[in-house]
Chain A
Amino acid sequence: MVIFQWLGELVVQWTGVIVPGSLMGMLLLLIFLAYPSRLASIVEPVSNRLIQNLSLLFIPACVGVFFLGPAISLQIPLLMVVIALSTLLAIIFMAVLIRTIGAAKND
């Protein structure tokens, strides 16, 4: 995983695309895994471990919500309304979109 992340960072540095290195690393690993090899059996247990405990990795940044300072904190309720509304709208939009395309395909 670490090797592929570094590979990803390097590719990003060389090509100058605005995608984070770790995402580029994910795409690279995906390409490598598309060819049958022993790589899959090596990376799988590590990958499962990491994914199962993904929440733990978000904890430090998340604790930051409680330490933002008064100026921004005042805006937070309004911000929460905006986020909640637009997230709800986006989910409804996608559900309707997929149902419409799906129905069109079945006809």
Chain B
Amino acid sequence: MTDLLAMQWQQITASSWIMLLSVTGFWLGMSIYRRSSGKPLLHPLIIGTPFIAILLVLMSVDFDQYYKANGLLSWLLGPATVALAVPLSKYLKQMSKVIPILTIAVLFGGFFAAVSALSLALWLTSEPIMMLSIAAKSVTTPIAMVITQQLGGLVTLITPIVLFTGIVGILVAPQVFQVFGLQDERWQGLILGVTAHAIGTLKAFEKSPRCGAFSTIGMGLNGIWTSLFLVPMVQIFMA
């Protein structure tokens, strides 16, 4: 317990003024995003991060230094994950009516997302390390990191992979919903959560709190489910 607290305290106190770059980038991304009335290609992360990367190069701050200086923000990811319980609890009653569909959709959807990534990676790349790094792509970042570590994939690569998955997810999902005539915002939310994790959930919350709540439960359940099946499955697969 004391180890844990000491570790977290160290992470927070490592923060420095460099963190202001992140806040500025976020603010810039956010204001452009709002002015465009929510176009997914102008997502704050897409606008903000290249801006910060350019500033870092100009100021010759290396990435490790920058990442450490953002300890407070990285640490906040933990409590923020916990915070997702609040919108979830509000919609728990509504969800209990649709538990069968919800369970089937998450079990098969989560499984399909991981298997399709693995088989496409096997087909298009020959590098086993790429396969191991990509398998957890549909899972929210903190869980994906743990899974990738257990699989022996590249942990540095999983963050951008997860983010890119989320961005692709929110870009293509509205089109897919339209083509397949899926109008129910509960299921739209669930799909966003299972396939595009936190980025999808963010998008779902922009639509409505109800959509967001279903997205949150999709993300949470898929995270738990994937961490259970993926590691044993890949071990059998690679043997």
Chain A residues within 8 Å of B, Cβ to Cβ: 1-2, 4-6, 8-10, 18-23, 25-27, 29-30, 33-34, 40, 43-44, 46-48, 50-51, 53-68, 72, 75, 78-99, 101-102, 105
A105 and B29 CA atoms in complex are apart in Å by 43
For chain B, give the interface size range. Answer: 35 or more
> Which residues 63-106 in B have Cβ within 8 Å of A in the complex?
63, 66-67, 70, 73-74, 76-89, 92, 100-101, 104-105
Chain A residues within an 8 Å CB radius of B190: 94, 98
Q: Who on chain B is nearest to A92 by CB?
A: B176
Docked-complex contact A87 and B154, CB < 8 angstroms: no
Please, how many angstroms separate the alpha-carbon atoms of A51 and B209 in the complex? 11
Q: Which residue of A lies closest to B55 (CB)?
A: A63
Q: Which residues of A lie under 8 Å from residue B130 when comparing CB positions? A: 75, 79
B137 to chain A, nearest CB (A): 6
Contact with A along B218-239 (1 / 0, CB 8 A): 0010011001100100000000
Q: Are B161 and A79 in contact (CB under 8 A)?
A: yes
Q: In this assembly, does B132 line the interface, its C-beta being within 8 Å of a C-beta of chain A? A: no
Select one of B70, B224, B227 contacting A60, CB under 8 A.
Answer: B70
A88 contacts which chain B residues (CB < 8 A)?
A: 168, 172, 176
Set of chain A residues within 8 Å of B73, measured between Cβ atoms: 56-57, 59-60
Taking Cβ atoms with an 8 Å cutoff, the residues of B that contact A are 1, 4-5, 22-23, 25-26, 29-30, 43-45, 48-50, 52-53, 56, 62-63, 66-67, 70, 73-74, 76-89, 92, 100-101, 104-105, 108-109, 112-113, 116-117, 120-121, 124-125, 127, 130, 134, 137-138, 141-143, 146, 150, 154, 156-157, 159-161, 163-165, 168-169, 172-173, 176-177, 180-182, 184, 187, 190-191, 194-196, 198-199, 202, 205, 220, 223-224, 227-228, 231
Asked if residues A90 and B112 are in contact (CB atoms below 8 Å), the reply is yes
Ranked 7 nearest A-B pairs via Cβ: A1-B79, A60-B70, A66-B53, A33-B89, A22-B81, A47-B83, A67-B63
